[in-house]
Amino acid sequence: MKITILLADDHPVVRDGLRLVIDAQSDLEVIGEVDNGLDAVHHATTACPHVIVMDITMPKLNGIEATRQILETCPDSRVIVLSMHASTKHVLWSLQAGAMGYLLKGSASSEVITAIRSVTNGRRYLSRKVAEQIGKDQLHQLEKKEIDNPLAPLSPREREVLQLVVEGKSSAEIAKLLYLSTKTVETYRYRLMQMLN
């Protein structure tokens, strides 16, 4: 049985190129082409293809909302977004709408075929550039959280003292455990109180 595919893009040259690449595969079949989001919803909910290759920026209805509507009627269909938008927000909006894959329009034709086969088998597929961008954005968020973390400026010794204070240890007990003088522990406690308010 062939994997059936609907192409949804408002640029005929993109659809024509995709059709050529897909039709060259013996296990894949393009069953329709549409140039706007409303027609994508109508055609997909009528035919329930295995895969819809969907642009985001289309007339009448954007690809993200079209994806959401299609998957309400055809939950077994898989959507791959093929877009020029590389931002993490577009990727996340697409995935939240139910898309299983996200490719950039600059992707190699072989990657489109790989993505179609991957999502048909229930696996997500993100193009390398998209995955790298998401990774960079996530790393930036983690770095920002570290900067916002009130414990970030503490030295390892200050963290040790803080942990023992939180555990309810007295200054004398902490001094004994860390091989410090009680006076040094008191100084650490005072500085921690100042730093952490």
Structural class in CATH, domain 3-140: alpha beta
Query: Measured on CA atoms in the order 65, 33, 123, 92, is the torsion positive or negative?
Result: negative
Three-class DSSP category at 66: helix
What pLDDT is attached to residue 81? Answer: 94
What pLDDT is attached to residue 80? Answer: 96
What pLDDT is attached to residue 185? Answer: 92
Alpha helices in 59-197 (DSSP H): 63-73, 88-97, 109-120, 128-148, 156-166, 171-178, 182-195
What pLDDT is attached to residue 145? Answer: 58
Give me the residue spans of the domains in the chain.
Answer: 3-140, 156-195
Smallest Cα–Cα separation from 113: which of 136, 154, 80, 72?
80
What pLDDT is attached to residue 140? Answer: 66
What pLDDT is attached to residue 151? Answer: 66
Structural class in CATH, domain 156-195: mainly alpha
What pLDDT is attached to residue 102? Answer: 92
Residue ranges for the chain with pLDDT beneath 70: 139-152, 197
The string of pLDDT tens digits covering residues 125-161 is 988 888 887 777 776 666 565 555 666 678 888 888 8
